[in-house]
């Protein structure tokens, strides 16, 4: 302890310049001292490019802000006295007197730390500004209270008790096997009691994955330090033989597990008896970070993470998660952990089957994110799906989970010393963590690091049939194949996904669901770069696009955007694809590949270099008619965790935040599929309206005199619109003939004030930034045509013909042109029920309007998006959307019961409640002024064509190599279980060869048959006919 303190003090007395220089030096866990751990960790945590990751994010955790408490993060590690002196000096100089530092009594209290918790009782803004202005302080963020919920099957209404805790980090266990089947899980955030048992489940998960094969070779996790962050573990549990240390980071001062979650997780990883774990000889370090009430705090995790670094932990399991990827101290500390070589495994979440429900930290590039499957090798219904929502709306999300494994009905240790069965991604996560610990002990190489381990797991994973990459990642965990890859591994970089292929229709969804065409907005594929050569690296040269001239590759334009620094162990490569004008009428496929050169600092000599080839094959179709083209507005959709954006349906009390991205490939996935099935093509617009080229979608006058335009869809938007955008849309509709479809949701300031009390800890902080949609902004956009939504909150069901339509917390139409069509219905006044507890029926309230702009396009407005949104959808209305699209693009008026007897009661237009939205807006700044909206500019790279076809380039996942690169550039494909096997040629060659072989075989068989029949005829029938009749030959 004394030595550690002296070393830390000595290190942190060095200049900032020295520290920054040290950050560029290579290091390994075996070689660095206590001091170097902290130096390297802190340096890499402050690269400029990493701070940009917090712009334009979305998120979902179960966490709430703690009133008056702030985490002050320093740029280095200091003793508690030193940190107190710095804070005291800063606040006193700013005349802030009413404050205190919250004491933390845990194992890290004896060591230097990089943060303090400050309680501010007044002058919060002055104090925060003063602290943030100090050069030694990185940032100041509110302390978060973290609550994890373990559902119990004996109370079907258990979810009603978590209204105030829904968005916190939570344990990702589902339930006991005996009480629940994964097939019976409700498709939302929460689950009900099971109705039937699963089929017989294997007793030992280790046997299913063949861990006993590695045990027979003497590998059992010995010497590997595994940290389990959970609910603790009993000291005398009979299943564990190598518990090195138990620490408590809560305020309950106990080390035991009264819930059973931590015991189960530890058992899957390292149980040595009964229900066996994967690494029974691993050294267990138990971190109790949750109380008996499943409560934790961000600061508890930060201290525990620092202690894990100090202890030199090799593998860390987090069977927890939530959507708040903007919990900056937590996210940065995870980066610091992996930068120090610690392999983190985390559950992807139990919010499936809805897309866009990935949990943090499993959605981070340097973490192994694990999803769950059943023993039938199907994706578990509860397992969260991608894509990541960090990048929306400016791009497409990344592929997550990384891999999947068994998480339904797995046997593990119970707190009573016996075995139990649980389901959930918190079960799948320790399966992978245990496998990682076992592999770590089997390989025992300095080449094993967070990236190389992740590369080995993904390269060896077995793809599942019928699942796309946002469901299964790279496939199912294969322990023995991973062992083979890792034992022959050479440092290199790799990509995820490892290929882009529109022909792989199931796995490559959603890209494969729609061909490219000239004039469309570019589609973005966000590729993750993994760097197994070191924690720090870079894309050394701009990526090279090499189209195959004989395979129409020159019909594709590509643009690249990529991480300036790969840290820790990873980065991104965003590839924008577009079709050239020469392919306007072309239908077919285009092929080529991208070459990416990755470099890392030298290890014992030369700079490390890895060149990766990314095969690309896309389908191209002729540019469709404008009447078939739909533009989806993504730019104006905002979501949690950037701010408090409430759920669109106020009846959903157990999941009140809108956190799924509002993207056509996340919570609007089924709507997208329905539109594509109707023959429409959908493009995602992630830029301001001023950037839209309306000539691509506007009306085209045909011979009959009718306008056939495309349409702009604005669904459930939360952001503002600039004056220029409003004027641009007005001009596009009236002069370019663009049609406009606006689907809104509720907005009522009194209701917004009411729902701020969902969480008692967050009253001060969690005032809604807007309603279900930003109705005042939509009214500004529609004002030119005398169209406006009201401030009513309406709910219920209504009939159109024999079809029932669900209307959940929607809004009525306040004003509409007399020349248009309006659909009035009877609905419940939900605002009256929420505010006063009284039920009231609103009659003849218009909720749908159709309007033909004279000489221009058409406008459709509708008051609710819930029947289009997969999140807690009661009943879909895709059939209704199809009719609205038909009207917008052809003018065919749906046969609905329109009426002129609209309710004449004066309704109010909603007014803006506050300027909280401005803090998160992409259009308006914090002071309420319009930002300078810039249109994205893509620089298309100059292609370097190859005069070849793709016959030598297999369009499938490239496997990791044991022998690095071939010919200095392209990776040679090696069969994982048979590295000595030759390079395979294009599968199409083998198919053709097989066809030819069959034809030749059939020919010779027929010849033999004819000869045989002729001989038989000669012997047996010649006596009757004198010769063989022709009909017998």
SS in 3 state form for 598-625?
EEECCCCCCCEEEEEEEEEEEEECCCCC
Contact 860, 884 (CB under 8 A): yes
Cα 880-665-635 angle, rounded to 5 deg: 90
Distances in Å between the Cα of 352 and the Cα atoms of 357, 365, 467, 474 are 7, 20, 14, 18
**285 strand-pairing partners:** 227, 245
Question: Which DSSP helix (H) or strand (E) runs through 1024?
Answer: helix 1022-1025
Instruction: Write the burial class of residue 963 (CB in 10 Å: 0-12 exposed, 13-18 middle, 19+ buried).
Output: exposed
Contact 686, 395 (CB under 8 A): yes
CA 30 to chain centre: 34
Long-range contacts, 18-27 (Cβ 8 Å, 24+):
19/43, 19/76, 23/536, 24/536, 24/601, 25/601, 26/534, 26/600, 26/601, 26/602, 26/603
Contact 641, 609 (CB under 8 A): no
Determine the Cα–Cα distance for residues 799 and 813; give it in Å rounded to an integer. 18
Two structure tokens written together for 835: 């505010």
Among 337, 558, 395, 449, CA closest to 53: 395
Compute the radius of gyration of the chain from its Cα atoms. 31
In the set 189, 237, 239, 261, the catalytic residue is 261
Phi and psi of 232, rounded to 5°?
100, -175
Contact 865, 744 (CB under 8 A): yes
Determine the Cα–Cα distance for residues 567 and 50; give it in Å rounded to an integer. 8
Asked if 426 is an active-site residue, the reply is: yes
In the set 58, 60, 114, 230, the catalytic residue is 230
Two structure tokens written together for 564: 């300036």
In the set 175, 182, 408, 426, the catalytic residue is 426
Determine the Cα–Cα distance for residues 1009 and 986; give it in Å rounded to an integer. 35
**Sign of the torsion formed by the C-alpha atoms of 417, 479, 434 and 429:** negative
Cα 953-957-958 angle, rounded to 5 deg: 65
Asked if 60 is an active-site residue, the reply is: no
Determine the Cα–Cα distance for residues 784 and 767; give it in Å rounded to an integer. 31
The number of beta carbons lying within 10 Å of the beta carbon of residue 603 is 15
What is the full DSSP assignment across 815-873?
Answer: E--TTSEEEEEEEEEHHHHHHHS---EEEEEEEEEEEE-TTS-EEEEES--TTT--TT-
**73 strand-pairing partners:** 115, 139
Asked if 230 is an active-site residue, the reply is: yes
Contact 458, 474 (CB under 8 A): yes
Q: Would you please indicate which residues are annotated as catalytic (active-site) residues?
A: 230, 261, 426
């Amino acid at each position: 302890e004394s030595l550690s303190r002296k070393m830390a003090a000595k290190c942190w007395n060095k200049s900032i310049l020295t520290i920054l220089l040290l950050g560029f030096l290579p290091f390994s866990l075996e070689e660095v001292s206590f001091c170097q751990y902290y130096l390297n960790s802190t340096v890499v945590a402050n690269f400029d490019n990493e701070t940009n990751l917090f712009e334009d994010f979305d998120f979902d955790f179960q966490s709430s802000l703690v009133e008056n408490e702030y985490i002050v993060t320093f740029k280095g590690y200091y003793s508690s006295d030193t940190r107190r002196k710095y804070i005291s000096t800063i606040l006193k100089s700013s005349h802030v007197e009413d404050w205190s530092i919250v004491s933390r009594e845990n194992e890290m209290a004896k060591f230097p730390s990089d943060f303090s918790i400050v309680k501010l009782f007044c002058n919060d803004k002055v104090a925060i500004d003063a602290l943030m202005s100090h050069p030694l302080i990185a940032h100041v963020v509110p302390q978060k209270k973290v609550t994890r919920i373990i559902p119990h099957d004996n109370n079907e209404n258990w979810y009603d008790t978590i209204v105030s805790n829904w968005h916190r980090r939570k344990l990702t266990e589902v339930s006991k096997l005996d009480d629940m089947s994964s097939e019976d899980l409700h498709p939302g955030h929460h689950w009900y009691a099971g109705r039937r048992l699963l089929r017989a489940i294997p007793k030992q998960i280790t046997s299913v994955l063949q861990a006993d094969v590695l045990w027979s070779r003497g590998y059992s996790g010995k010497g590997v330090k595994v940290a389990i962050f959970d609910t603790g573990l009993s000291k005398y549990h009979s299943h564990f033989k190598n518990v090195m240390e138990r620490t408590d980071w809560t305020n309950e001062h106990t080390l035991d597990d009264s819930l059973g979650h931590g015991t189960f997780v530890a058992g899957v990883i390292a149980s040595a008896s009964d229900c066996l774990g994967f690494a029974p000889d691993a050294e267990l370090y138990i971190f109790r970070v949750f109380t008996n009430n499943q409560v934790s705090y961000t600061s508890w995790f930060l201290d525990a993470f620092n202690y894990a670094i100090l202890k030199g932990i090799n593998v860390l399991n987090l069977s927890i998660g939530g959507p708040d990827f903007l919990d900056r101290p937590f996210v940065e500390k995870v980066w610091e952990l992996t930068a120090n070589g610690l392999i983190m495994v985390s559950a992807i979440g139990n919010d499936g089957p809805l897309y866009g429900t990935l949990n943090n930290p499993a959605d981070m590039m340097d973490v192994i994110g694990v999803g769950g499957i059943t023993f039938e090798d199907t994706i578990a219904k509860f397992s969260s799906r991608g894509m990541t929502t960090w990048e929306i709306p400016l791009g497409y999300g990344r592929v997550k989970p990384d891999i999947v494994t068994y998480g339904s009905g797995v046997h593990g240790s119970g707190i009573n010393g016996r075995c139990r069965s649980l389901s959930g991604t918190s079960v799948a996560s320790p399966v992978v963590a245990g496998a990682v610990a076992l592999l770590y002990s089997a390989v025992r190489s300095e080449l094993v690091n967070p990236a190389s381990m992740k590369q080995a797991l993904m390269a060896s994973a077995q793809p599942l049939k019928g699942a796309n990459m946002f469901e299964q990642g790279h496939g199912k965990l294969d322990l023995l194949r991973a062992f083979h890859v890792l034992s022959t591994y050479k440092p290199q970089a790799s990509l995820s996904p490892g290929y882009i292929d529109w022909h792989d229709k199931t796995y490559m969804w959603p890209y494969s669901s729609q061909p490219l065409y000239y004039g469309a907005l570019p589609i973005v594929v966000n590729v993750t770069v993994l760097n197994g050569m070191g924690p720090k690296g870079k894309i050394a040269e701009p990526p090279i696009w090499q189209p195959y001239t004989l395979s129409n590759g020159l019909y594709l334009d590509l643009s690249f955007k990529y991480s300036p620094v790969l840290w820790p162990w990873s980065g991104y490569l965003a590839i924008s694809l577009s079709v050239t004008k020469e392919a306007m009428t072309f239908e077919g496929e285009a092929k080529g590949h991208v070459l990416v050169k990755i470099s890392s600092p030298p290890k014992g000599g030369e700079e490390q270099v890895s060149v990766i080839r990314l095969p690309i094959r896309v389908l191209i179709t002729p540019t469709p008619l404008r009447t078939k083209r739909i533009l989806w507005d993504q730019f104006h959709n905002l979501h949690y965790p950037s701010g408090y954006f409430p759920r669109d349906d106020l009846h959903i009390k157990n999941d009140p935040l809108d956190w799924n991205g509002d993207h056509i490939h996340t919570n609007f996935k089924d709507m997208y599929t329905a539109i594509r099935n109707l023959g429409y093509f959908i493009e995602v617009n992630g830029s301001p309206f001023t950037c839209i080229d309306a000539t691509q979608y506007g009306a085209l006058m045909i011979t009959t005199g009718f306008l056939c335009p495309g349409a702009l869809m604005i669904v459930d938007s939360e952001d503002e619109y600039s004056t220029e955008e409003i004027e641009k849309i007005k001009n596009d509709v009236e002069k370019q003939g663009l049609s406009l479809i606006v689907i809104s949701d509720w907005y009522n300031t009194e209701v917004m004030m009411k729902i701020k009390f969902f969480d008692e800890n967050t009253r001060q902080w969690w005032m809604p930034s807007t309603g279900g949609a930003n109705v005042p902004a939509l009214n500004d956009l529609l004002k030119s045509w005398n169209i406006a939504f009201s401030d009513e909150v309406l709910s219920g069901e209504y009939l159109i013909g024999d079809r029932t339509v669900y209307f959940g917390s929607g809004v009525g139409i306040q004003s509409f042109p007399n020349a248009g069509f309006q659909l009035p219905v009877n609905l419940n006044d939900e605002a009256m029920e929420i505010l006063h507890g009284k039920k009231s029926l609103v009659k003849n309230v218009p909720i749908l309007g159709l309007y033909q702009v004279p000489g221009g396009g058409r406008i459709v407005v509708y008051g609710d998006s819930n029947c289009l949104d997969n999140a807690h959808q009661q009943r879909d209305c895709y059939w209704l959307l199809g009719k609205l699209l038909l009207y917008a693009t052809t003018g065919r008026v749906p046969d609905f019961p329109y009426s002129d007897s609209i309710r004449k009661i004066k309704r109010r237009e909603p007014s803006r409640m506050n300027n909280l939205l401005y803090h998160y807006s992409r259009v308006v700044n914090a002071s309420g002024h319009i930002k300078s909206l810039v249109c994205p500019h893509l620089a298309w790279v100059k292609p370097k064509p190859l005069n070849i076809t793709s016959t030598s380039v297999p369009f499938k996942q490239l496997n990791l190599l044991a022998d690095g690169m071939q010919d200095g550039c392209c990776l040679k494909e090696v069969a994982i279980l048979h590295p000595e096997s030759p390079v395979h040629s294009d599968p199409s060659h083998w198919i053709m060869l097989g066809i030819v072989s069959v034809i030749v075989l059939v020919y010779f068989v027929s010849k033999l048959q004819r000869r045989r029949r002729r001989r038989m005829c000669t012997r047996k029938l010649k006596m009757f006919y004198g010769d063989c009749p022709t009909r017998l030959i």
